[in-house]
Each structure stands twice: as C-alpha cells, then as structure tokens.
Chain A
Amino acid sequence: MAANTRNLRTPSERAWTAALWGVSCLVFFFLLAPILAIVPLSFSSGQFLTYPIPGFSLRWYADFFTSEKWIGGLVNSLIVGVSATVFATALGTLASLGLVRARFRGKGLIMGILMSPMIVPLVITAVGFYFFFAPLGMTASFTGLIVAHTALAAPFVVVTVTATLQGFDMNLARASASLGAGPATTFFKVILPLIAPGVASGALFAFATSFDEVVVVLFVAGPGQRTLPREMFSGIRENISPTITAVATILILFSVVLLLALELLRRRNARMRGLA
C-alpha cells in the first residue's frame, strides 16, 4: 500500500510513509543492533565487554579453539545434532509420505500427536524425558539425548516435507509405476530427487532445533554430554567472558549460512515445482 500511496503524494500520505519507515527502521535496529554489537567485542584485545575497544586481537578465538570445554561442547553438539537429524529426517519423511496419502479417520489426532513436540512447552518436555529416562538409566547418556532431540526435531521435518509433497505431482509416481518400477525404485528414482530440496530444508530445521536446544540438555545430559548451548548457558549465568562473544560470533555466522542454504533450497524447490 505504501508503494501505491507514494504515487499519489499528498503531504499527509508522504508523512505517513515517512513515519512508517521511521518506526520500522527503529524496530530493525532493535532486532539487529544487539546481535551486531557483540561481534566487534569478540575481536577485542581487552578483558571488558565495552566500547571503545582497546585493540584488535584474536585471543578469544584462540581461547575457544584451544579450550577443551568449548571444543568438547561443539563436538557433543555435532554428535547429537547430526544423529538426531538423521533419525528425525528418516522418520519424518516416511511419515510425510504416509500423511499425504492418508484419508482414514483419526488423521487429525495422528497429526496432533506428530506435531505435539513443537507445541508442548520445553520444560514439560524436558521433565517428561527426565522421568522417562531416569529409571532406564538413560540420563547422562548420548542415547537419551539423541532420542529426545529426534522427538523434538521430527515435527519440523514433517511440516516441511508435507508442504513440499503437497506441491508434488503424484501422476509422476503413477507414471513410474505404470512403466514397471516397484515402490522402492519409484521412491528413490522419481519421488526423492524431486522432493530432495524439501527434505534438505527439513533436515536443516531439524539440525538447527537440536543445535540450539538447551532445556532438555539441562535435564537429561550428564557432564559427558554438555553441548555448546549448555556451555553457553553456564557461561552467561556464571561469568560472561569475552570467549562467549567469540562463540556467539561463530554461531551468528552459522545462522547466516543456514539462512542462505534455506533460501537456496526454497528457490530450487520452487523451480522444481515449476518443472513438475
């Protein structure tokens, strides 16, 4: 609408557009400023997290890459994140393939159950896992954490892949079947290549969910499974050191890469739909 009013150009409308831009820029500033403010601090040579920065140095990055605590946390995060992503993507993609074909009664209930890890507050989820794992001896184990993160991440795969499949032309699968391909061949040679961008986005969502999760980790992880967010949590709580700003900068870079990857996948998906 602002675009339209610009053409009309009465003074009040120009003021209106200016006010809209003004307010929006303030909000953009609020959204980005704190995130961007922390980046230069990570390159500071000083101990204190304030401006002006006394000098440039990479000491906090050196601190990160040589610290057993931080690198251990990163490795644990990757172990849990990658495993949970693999399981969540496999289970979620299968379920999505079923969901787009399902016409039976109770589909709504099933959908509700599949989505529930996205809706239930994380503290309740975490306590539920804790009560469940404790008698099985699965607290303080990678298995427990991976199971928990798989459950948390699976709905994101289901949402993404279901949305992709809704734009998928099922006649292609029928054509493949009529030409003599079995269900497995049809899936791997026809369906999967076409929905691959959607599956990849789902996997990225799943990984991001696990990689950023800390509440469940607080409850079910032991000292041997402390992930990067868990180390950050105690870092922020106890004594916020400049090393945290270095970790934060690395993670911001990671989000930028993730955002770009998702945008590329979205475009690719749109193009494929155009073809199909």
Chain B
Amino acid sequence: MNSDTDPLKARLRRAERMRQVKAFGLIAPLLGFLLVTFVVPIASMMMRSVHDTELSAVWPQVSAAISTWHDRKALPDEATFAALAHDIKTSYKERTLSTAARRLNYDLRNGRSLVFSTARALPETADRWTDAVLTANPRWGDVETWGAVSRASGPFTGFFLLAALDRHRTAAGRIVPTPAEEAIFIDVLQRTFVISLAVTLLCLAMGYPVAYLLAALPPNRGNLLMILVLLPFWTSLLVRTAAWVVVLQENGIVNNTLIWLGIIEKPVRLIYNQIGVYVAMTHILLPFMILPLYSVMKAIPPSYVRAARSLGATPATAFLRVYVPQTLPGIGAGGILVFIMAIGYYITPALVGGAGDQMISYFIAYYTSSSVNWGLASALGAVLLSATLILYWLYNRLVGADAVKLG
C-alpha cells in the first residue's frame, strides 16, 4: 500500500508546488515593476538622509585627513590644513568648489562665503599651510568650523536626521538643540501633528452622526443619501480646493452672505490662513471617516441597544454605554486613516494656507526643488514615512489588511 500512496503524495506535493510557482509568476510582473520604480527609489531616498558623499567627492584629501583629528578641542594638525588647502585650490580650478561650499553652508552660517573667500585668498605655495589658511580666513581657527568639515566628510552621517529634529552635533560630538532663531522643524512637526489631529477630530465629530443616520435608515434611502457623501469623495481634489478658494475669498460667498446678514461689517480673512486649511482639509477627508464608520455601524445588530432599553436604560445611556463602544473599531479605523492622510497633505495647505500653515510635506518639496538640500529633504521624508508606516501598522492591527475597501 505504501508504494501506492507515496508517489501520490509526492505527486500532489509537486502539483501544489507548481501551483505556487505559477501563482508567483502571475504576481511577479507587478511586484518587479513596483520594486524597481517605487520601492528602490524610495529606499535610496531614505539612504540619502544618512549617506553623505557630497563633500568627499570634491574634497577627498581633507575628508580623509580629518578622520585623524582626535583632540576635538584643539585645531587639526598641519597635514589636515595642507589637505584642505590642496582640495580648495584643486576644486577652485575644476569649478567644483560650489558643491563643497553648498554642503558646508547647510551646516555653517555663511559657509559659502567662508569657502569662496578662502579660495580667493590662498597663496600658491606656503611654508606652513596652517598659517596660510588662517590668514586667508580666520574662521578656520574655530574648532566648530572643522567640526562641520568632519560631519560632512561622510560616507555616513546623522547630520540631516538631527537637523530634521532641530538638533546638531558639536565638534566634540555632543548633540545640542539648534539655536531658537534657526530652529524650524520641531515647529513644523508640531504644526503637522496639531493640524492633523484637529482635522481628525473635526471629521469624527461631523462624520459620526452622518454615518449613524446612514446606517440606521432603510437600505434604499440610506444608499440614496450615501450619494451625498460619495459625490464629494469622487470629485477631484483640485476642484474641491478651488471651490473653497472661491467660497472663502475676500469677496466670496461666505463673506458676502455674512455682510448681507449684518453679522460682520467688512470681509473677514477666511483663507490663506489656518481657517482655510482646517475647512478645506476637513471637507476633503470627511468621507474617509464616514465610510469606515458606516461599514462598522451597518454590522451592529440593533438587539443590544433594544436589550439595554428594555432593561431600563435611557436612550442616552443605551447609546453611550452600549452603542458607542461597539463602534470603537470604526472610530479607530476612520481616525487613523484620516490622520495618516492628513499628515502627508501637501496640495491643499499649499493652496489655501498661509506661509505659516505649511506642513512637513511642503518642506520636503521645498528642500527638493526650491532650495536644493536633498539630504535634508530625505531626512524629513524619513520622519514622515516612519510616522506613516507606524500608524499604518496600527491601522492593520485594528482592522486587518484585507479590510482595505474602496468606495
């Protein structure tokens, strides 16, 4: 008997293995496509936040020599000064000095002018390069200047990630907060968090009653009213943002109506400030709160509330103690979903917010294209991406990955 079943078992196993290979073969094209075009580029962007070879590419000698600088309270040795002078002169001739100047400018105030003035003032030859460099620009006598060179010497650095959290390392290696007048990112992170949280709570406050009503209505009427939620959901983000600009602007419908009603005398500023950001973001994200709440509420059997009522609970008690706890998964799912989307928002705050209402995404875009500092853009991106992934992991724990539903 054994001789009959064993080959059968083996054949079944082989068939199952073939099935799995085929299944993987079907997934492979999309998986490969996304790995190459999506996952690898984002991973390499994240690498840029810790991998820093801008300076060492154009100043190789000093980047190597600085690694021998151990006593961080005194200036580096003559060999390091000589390496610096050599690198500056070489890169000045090869026109790559601006790369080094840009990299040092990230870290040092007036780093650019320091580099260029040194390059112009350096003599062709010198007996002692330490003296020559110090004569060219006395700032090279400050250990913090050398600290910046050391931090930029690569290949790996924590500089950008620390900068994204308004921290930096001194020449001696201590991590200290950036002076208040230069610190901006803690504020930006805080603002991103506060705006996202407020928008999430506004969405919950407005979405809960609507989801409740839709779930309680008989299906045909509920579905009809659901269209009122789905139409904005499907309307282009830019259409909705444009609509709010039109409605909220100085001579817009809201201001004109309020003046006509005599509530205000002259137009109030409703846009290009925080009000605009809150209103437009809540409007855009509200359907993402209503839909998960609705699907949870739809599945709650009415018998529990009926039981509570028949046992003497008032409608309010039955609602708060029996109904609301059953909707907690929906509140969690909708809340995390809205919060995840809110912290990554870029277009809406850029169009309806003021200069002081921009969130972290704006600065990632800014440091990528306007002020080219890709290391910092990547570090801010790393902060945003980690926050998003942690929240998404929470969301998954709460509702399960298969629960991703559309429409």
> Contact residues of A with B, CB < 8 Å?
1-5, 12-13, 16, 20-21, 23-24, 27-28, 30-35, 37-38, 41, 48-51, 91-92, 94-95, 97-99, 101-104, 108, 110-132, 147-148, 150-151, 154, 156, 158-160, 163, 205, 208, 211-212, 214-215, 218-219, 229, 232-233, 235-237, 240, 244-245, 248, 251-252, 255-256, 258-259, 262, 266
B401 an interface residue at 8 Å Cβ cutoff? yes
CA distance A31 to B241 in the complex (A): 12
Q: Can you list 15 A-B contacts (CB < 8 A)?
A: A20-B209, A27-B206, A35-B240, A37-B253, A50-B252, A91-B29, A95-B30, A104-B23, A112-B401, A124-B42, A127-B377, A147-B37, A229-B237, A236-B351, A240-B249
Given A2-B213, A16-B315; 7 other pairs, CB 8 A cutoff: A23-B210, A102-B23, A113-B39, A127-B377, A130-B368, A160-B406, A259-B234
Q: Name the residue on B nearest A213 (C-beta).
A: B237
A158-B30 contact in complex given A2-B213, A128-B45, A251-B235, C-beta closer than 8 Å: yes
Residues of B within 8 A of A156 (CB): 406
Indicate whether A123 sits within 8 Å of B231 (C-beta atoms), given known contacts A113-B31, A131-B48.
no
- Flag if A49 contacts B246 (CB, 8 Å): yes
Alpha-carbon distance A233/B346, docked complex (angstroms): 12
Q: Would A38 and B243 count as touching, CB distance under 8 A?
A: yes
Whether the Cβ atoms of A252 and B34 lie closer than 8 Å is no
Tell me, in angstroms, the Cα distance from A160 to B19 when the chains sit together.
23
| A31-B283 contact, Cβ under 8 Å, with A51-B256, A131-B374 | yes
Closest to A1 in B: B216
A255 in contact with B34 given A50-B256, A102-B20 (CB within 8 Å): no
Residues of B within 8 A of A258 (CB): 234
Contact A95/B231 with A49-B249, A123-B381, A240-B245 known, Cβ cut-off 8 Å:
no
Q: Are A252 and B235 in touch, CB under 8 angstroms?
A: yes
User: Taking beta carbons and an 8 Å cutoff, which residues of B are in contact with A?
Assistant: 19-20, 22-31, 33-35, 37-42, 44-45, 48, 206-207, 209-210, 212-213, 216-218, 225, 227-232, 234-247, 249, 251-253, 256, 283, 286-287, 302, 305-306, 314-315, 323, 340, 343-344, 346-347, 350-351, 361, 364-365, 368-369, 374, 377-378, 381, 384-385, 388-389, 392, 401, 404-407
B364 and A123 within 8 A (CB): yes
In the A-B complex, the 7 residue pairs with the smallest Cβ-Cβ separation, listed nearest first, are A121-B344, A98-B26, A132-B41, A98-B27, A128-B41, A2-B216, A95-B30
Query: Quick check: B238 and A124 within 8 Å, CB to CB?
Result: no
Whether A116 touches B234, Cβ cut-off 8 Å, given contacts A37-B253, A123-B346, is no
Complex formed: what's the CA distance from A3 to B228 in Å? 20
Name B's interface SS.
helix
Nearest chain-B residue to A95 (Cβ)?
A: B30
Determine how close the nearest CB of chain B comes to the CB of A156; give it in whole angstroms. Answer: 7
A32-B27 contact given A20-B213, A116-B38, A236-B351, CB 8 Å threshold: no
Q: Which of B20, B29, B239, B286 has the most CB of A within 10 A?
A: B239
Chain B's closest residue to A218 (CB) is B365
Q: In whole angstroms, what is the CA distance A15 to B247 when docked?
A: 33
Complex CA gap A3/B42 in Å reads 50
- Cα–Cα distance between A159 and B30 once the two chains are bound (Å): 13
Q: Report the Cα distance A231→B369, complex, angstroms.
A: 19
CA distance A158 to B217 in the complex (A): 32
Q: Give the nearest-CB partner of A148 in chain B.
A: B37
Q: Please, how many angstroms separate the alpha-carbon atoms of A131 and B242 in the complex?
A: 30
Please determine whether B252 and A3 come into contact, CB atoms closer than 8 angstroms: no
Tell me whether A38 and B31 are in contact (CB under 8 A).
no
Complex Cα gap A259–B231 (Å)? 7
CA distance A126 to B23 in the complex (A): 31
The answer on a CB contact under 8 Å between A102 and B24 is yes
Contact status A95-B29, CB under 8 Å: yes
Select B213's contact among A21, A38, A92, A244, beta carbons within 8 Å: A21
Contact (Cβ within 8 A) A131 B30 = no
Given A16, A112, A113, A205, which contacts B406 in the complex, CB threshold below 8 Å? A205
Cβ contact within 8 Å between B30 and A212 = no
Q: Given known contacts A101-B22, A121-B343, A244-B242, is B209 in contact with A23 (CB within 8 Å)?
A: yes
Q: Determine the chain B residues whose CB is within 8 A of the CB of A259 once the complex forms.
A: 227, 230-231, 234
Flag if B347 contacts A215 (CB, 8 Å).
yes
Question: Quick check: A124 and B209 within 8 Å, CB to CB?
Answer: no
Output the nearest chain B residue to A38 by Cβ-Cβ distance: B243
A1 touching B24, Cβ below 8 Å = no
- Assuming the A-B contacts A38-B242, A159-B404, are A116 and B212 also in contact, with contact meaning beta carbons closer than 8 angstroms in the complex? no
Asked if A3 contacts B216 (CB within 8 A), the reply is yes
Pairwise interchain contact A101-B246, C-beta atoms closer than 8 A: no
Chain A residues with CB under 8 Å of B27's CB are 94-95, 98-99, 102, 110, 114
On whether the beta carbons of B346 and A38 are closer than 8 Å, the reply is no
Q: Once the chains bind, are B346 and A122 in contact (CB under 8 Å)?
A: yes
In the complex, the answer to whether A219 meets B231 with C-beta atoms within 8 Å is: no
Contact of B401 with A115 in the complex, beta carbons under 8 Å: yes
Q: Which residues of A contact B39 (CB under 8 A)?
A: 113, 116
Known A98-B24, A101-B19; judge A255-B236 contact (CB<8 A).
yes
Q: How far is the CA of A99 from the CA of B210 in the complex (A)?
A: 36
Q: Which residues of B contact A95 (CB under 8 A)?
A: 26-27, 29-31
- Asked if A229 and B238 make an inter-chain contact with CB atoms under 8 angstroms apart, the answer reads yes
B37 & A233 in contact (Cβ 8 Å cutoff): no
Please measure, in the bound complex, the distance between the C-alpha atom of A237 and the C-alpha atom of B343, giving whole angstroms: 22
Partner of A151, one of B20, B34, B314, B374: B34
Distance in angstroms between the alpha carbons of A219 and B361 in the assembled complex:
13
Assess the A248–B243 pair: CB atoms within 8 A. yes
Given the complex, which residues of A lie within 8 Å of B212, measured CB to CB? 1-2, 20
Q: How far is the CA of A41 from the CA of B197 in the complex (A)?
A: 34
Q: Tell me if A120 and B388 are in contact (CB < 8 A).
A: yes
The complex places the Cα of A91 from the Cα of B22 at a distance, in Å, of: 15
A167 to chain B, nearest CB (A): 13
Chain B contacts for A99, CB-based, 8 A: 23, 27
Given A219-B369, A248-B239: A240 in contact with B246 (beta carbons within 8 A): yes
Q: Once the chains bind, are B246 and A37 in contact (CB under 8 Å)?
A: yes
Q: Is the CB of B231 within 8 A of A251?
A: no
Q: Is the CB of B228 within 8 A of A32?
A: yes
